[in-house]
Amino acid sequence: MRVRYGGGRPVVVKGPATGADYRFSGIERLQLVHPQDAVVIVRNPLFRIEGVVEVDTVPVVFSRKGPGHHA
């Protein structure tokens, strides 16, 4: 999800679900945030959900040689 920061000072928010660090500042106001983290982060009035981003997944092909080797 895209989350917008409305504050001015730089902050680092630790995602409560994933443990990821999200860095926001007056210059970098918009960040991609994992949905499970975003629903908690936006409880703070300085943050709001700006939109939803769909991420394409790439199928992984496994062979007898192991991951990364295509059959």
Q: Write the DSSP string, 44-71.
A: STTEEEEE------PPPPEETTEET---
Pair of tokens at residue 34: 């994992």
For residue 55, what pLDDT is reported? 73
With cut-offs at 50, 70 and 90, classify the pLDDT of residue 61: low
Count, in order, helices (H) and strands (E) of the chain.
1, 7
Give the max Cα distance, the chain. 53
- Identify which of 69, 61, 65, 30 has the alpha carbon closest to the alpha carbon of residue 47: 30
pTM: 0.73
Give the model confidence (pLDDT) of 12-56 as tens digits: 999 999 999 999 998 899 999 999 999 999 999 999 999 998 876
